[in-house]
């Protein structure tokens, strides 16, 4: 008795012939990570950054349409917009390289992006008022010295 025969009935002329099926099995247990990267950049992150650029330029009317146009999703595009707005190229490069997940980096960098946007939007008089409000020594000691 073979594995493909029916034990309860004997084969006769009316029963259909048994066919051996070939099952192609991969020797790998997991998929290759190469398909996730193109030119040493995480492909999903690159698509999200491209969609974010389209949306910020006004080429596409909505976030979801920009995501669809680039093969991404709205959450990734929103995270990419935050990363671009933060102007932190170090974090952006680490995300593109796949060292840091995009959504996790966006959660961490949200306040920095808002602070950079507010600074860029403020006039010179507003910046002077800000420095007077928190004190020049606090601004220097807490912001400039750690950056040096």
Judge whether residue 123 has pLDDT over 60.
Answer: yes
pLDDT number for residue 1: 47
Residue 81 pLDDT level (bands cut at 50, 70, 90): very high
Which residues, 6 or more positions from 117, have their beta carbon under 8 angstroms from its beta carbon? Answer: 85
Reading the block at residue 5, the tokens are: 């025969």
pLDDT number for residue 10: 57
pLDDT number for residue 113: 83
20 or 52: which leads in pLDDT: 52
Q: Phi and psi for 41 in degrees, rounded to 5?
A: -125, 145
Best CA proximity match to 51, nearest among 24, 75, 17: 75
pLDDT number for residue 65: 96
30-75 residue pLDDT tens: 766 667 888 889 999 999 999 999 999 999 999 999 999 999 999 9
Can you give the residue ranges of every domain in the chain?
36-120
pLDDT number for residue 5: 47
Is the pTM value of this prediction over 0.95? no
Judge whether residue 2 has pLDDT over 90.
Answer: no
Q: 4-8, 103-107, 127-131, 136-140: which range is least confident on average?
A: 4-8
CB 90 within 8 A of CB 76: no
pLDDT number for residue 3: 47
């Amino acid at each position: 008795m073979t594995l493909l025969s029916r034990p309860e009935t004997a084969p006769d002329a009316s029963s259909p012939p048994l066919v051996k099926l070939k099952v192609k099995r991969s020797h790998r247990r997991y998929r290759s990570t190469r398909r996730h990267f193109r030119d040493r950049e995480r492909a999903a992150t690159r698509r999200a950054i491209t969609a974010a650029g389209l949306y910020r330029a006004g080429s596409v009317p909505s976030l979801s349409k920009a995501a669809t146009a680039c093969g991404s999703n709205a959450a990734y595009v929103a995270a990419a917009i935050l990363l671009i707005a933060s102007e932190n190229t170090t974090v952006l490069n680490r995300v593109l390289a796949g060292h840091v997940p995009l959504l996790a980096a966006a959660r961490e960098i949200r306040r920095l992006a808002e602070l950079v946007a507010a600074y860029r939007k403020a006039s010179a008089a507003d910046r002077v008022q800000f420095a007077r409000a928190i004190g020049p020594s606090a601004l220097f000691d807490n912001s400039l010295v750690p950056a040096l």
